[in-house]
Amino acid sequence: MATRSQTAAVLLAGALALAACGSGGSGKSNGGGSTAQGGGRTLVIDTSFDLKTADPGRTYEPTGLIIGKAAYETLLTFEGSDVTKPVPALAESYELSEDGKVLTLKLKKGATFADGSPVTADDVVFSLTRVRDMKGTPSFLLDGVEVAKTDDSTITLTSKQANPALPYILPNPALGILNSKLAKSHGATADSQDKAEQYLNSSSAGSGPYQIESFNVSSQVVLKKNDKYYGTKPFYDKVVIRNVEAATQKLNVQRGDSQVALNLSGDQVTGMPASLSVKKTASANVIFLFANQDSGISKTTPNAKFVEAVRKGVDYAGLLELAGEGATQTPGVIPSQLLGALGADQATKRDVAGAKAALAASGLSNPTVKLEYPSELTVNGLSFQPLAERIQANLKEVGITVDLQPAPVTTALDNYRNGKEEMGLWYWGPDYPDPSDYLAFLPGKTVGLRAGWKDGADKAASAAGDKAAAAVGEDARKQAYADLQKQLNASSPFVPLIQPSQNIVTATSVTGLEYHPVWTVDVADLAGK
């Protein structure tokens, strides 16, 4: 599978999205979601924008994926928050060949775009080829995948290598299907000469339950109900998505100016009034430590017994206390929502005596190491600074002195990407909800190299990774990825720590909200009482 080298940058951009545009002018709305502006039911959602475009072939930012999910449909999707099994959307069925190289999809009959024209196999081929060949941010999702029409209702996606992750990739809103005739009339092409983005930022060309009414990357996006939607009509006539900083999000939802707040920290959601509901669930972000394996960077951290001392010396329960309700310890690098995640019983427990014994066996005497992390970065409202301080105190008890080295995110990210950090505290979120995305942690792969773990450094880990990558079938893949993580926990430089909580606040009148690790929330699922 292709793994994007820019992943961390995009994820950090999401975490650091600047939001300062206040209340966006949608009209005051009450807790039920109706507004004073012109009738119909309006839902107001406050979030911190990370938004560049509404063109599904170019978008990969969190806010853009919310919009894309509403305006466009994909061949496959997920039911609610469950990402363990792709289900039909524009495709009524799909089948993966035994060798994992050919995915065959049958199109649903009766699906139409917002202008009433039918969704065809030609639209699918054009849309997916455009994403792949336009070389936008999400192009990597279809690297090496050939898209072809077998007949008017059948599409095949063919990969050179086994690609069992493909059904899990297709639900990504970046792979939304365009009305190809309409898009082409506004400059869409399946190559880098494409000029349709401006049109797609003002008008949607999809078959989704909503259309774009207005779009501003810095203030707000307004979605209007697609009156010609062939499926179940959405409850709300309009959805206003506003760019609002977290503190203002809290005020707005408390006073009824909005009905949904997506970016509040654990501290901010404590003590909410009874008129509001708080949904707390573990996010799909995994915060982890690593010890650099490059002897040119450190003479201490490549020592396997040193890494063992760190792994056993961390107080995971204490980190969870810092993270707050809804957070969970992650037993491996794959988050709990995904296929192949290890069970809670596999999680590492703190063992101070074992950590001291490992440090003694390392031959290192009172080592001092530098721990780098981005100083202003927060993940799901959780700052890295208190986590780093707690880890520092934990390892002091073991006999390891940790010199904290916070840095502005641009500096820290540069050092991290270039493998220059002696120890690092970072996080990883899924590009797509499939465990193959975590092969990046192997020796010689994207994250492995950032930890100085070069190709060939650990034959057992690489072999487990190769077996996982080649596995086909849910049971075989689940076992292979569990085995891989056990091997990583035994011999890798990575120490998985926690999945912080995702906190979403809604008016009690809003129903149907489920947190999703790819598109955060499906606005078409939201309804009112």
pLDDT tier for residue 265 given thresholds of 50, 70 and 90 = confident
d(CA 525, CA 17): 25
Residue 283 has pLDDT above 80, yes or no: yes
Give the pLDDT of residue 263.
86
Task: Express as a percent the part of the chain with pLDDT over 90.
Answer: 82
Q: Which of 473, 480, 408 is nearest to 438 (CA)?
A: 480
Give the pLDDT of residue 431.
86
Residue 320 has pLDDT above 80, yes or no: yes
Tell me the average pLDDT across 220-233. Answer: 96
User: CATH 3.10.105.10 spans which residues of the chain?
Assistant: 286-499
Give the pLDDT of residue 19.
30
d(CA 359, CA 435): 32
Question: Which residue would you say has higher pLDDT here, 481 or 270?
Answer: 481
Residue 341 has pLDDT above 50, yes or no: yes
**Are residues 180 and 113 in contact, defined by beta-carbon separation less than 8 angstroms?**
no
Residue 4 has pLDDT above 70, yes or no: no
What's the mean per-residue pLDDT of the chain?
91
Tell me how far apart the terminal alpha carbons of the chain are, to the nearest angstrom: 44
d(CA 25, CA 41): 16
Tell me the average pLDDT across 24-51. Answer: 65
Residue 38 has pLDDT above 50, yes or no: no
DSSP string over 316-383? HHHHHHHH-TT-EE-SSSS-TTSTTPPPGGGS----HHHHHHHHHHHT--S-EEEEEEETT-EETTEE
pLDDT tier for residue 376 given thresholds of 50, 70 and 90 = confident
d(CA 103, CA 34): 44
Query: Residue 490: what residue type?
Result: A
Give the pLDDT of residue 39.
61
Tell me the average pLDDT across 119-138. Answer: 96
Q: Which CATH superfamily is domain 7-280+503-528 in?
A: Periplasmic binding protein-like II (3.40.190.10)
Residue 525 burial (CB count, 10 A): 17
Tell me the average pLDDT across 306-323. Answer: 96
Q: What stretches of 492-522 show up as alpha helix (H) in DSSP?
A: none
User: CATH 3.40.190.10 spans which residues of the chain?
Assistant: 7-280+503-528
**Are residues 413 and 374 in contact, defined by beta-carbon separation less than 8 angstroms?**
yes
Residue 514 burial (CB count, 10 A): 17
Give the pLDDT of residue 33.
56
Give the pLDDT of residue 40.
86
Find the range with the poorest average confidence among 11-25, 84-98, 113-127, 146-160. Answer: 11-25
Tell me the average pLDDT across 413-427. Answer: 95
Q: Which CATH superfamily is domain 286-499 in?
A: Dipeptide-binding Protein; Domain 3 (3.10.105.10)
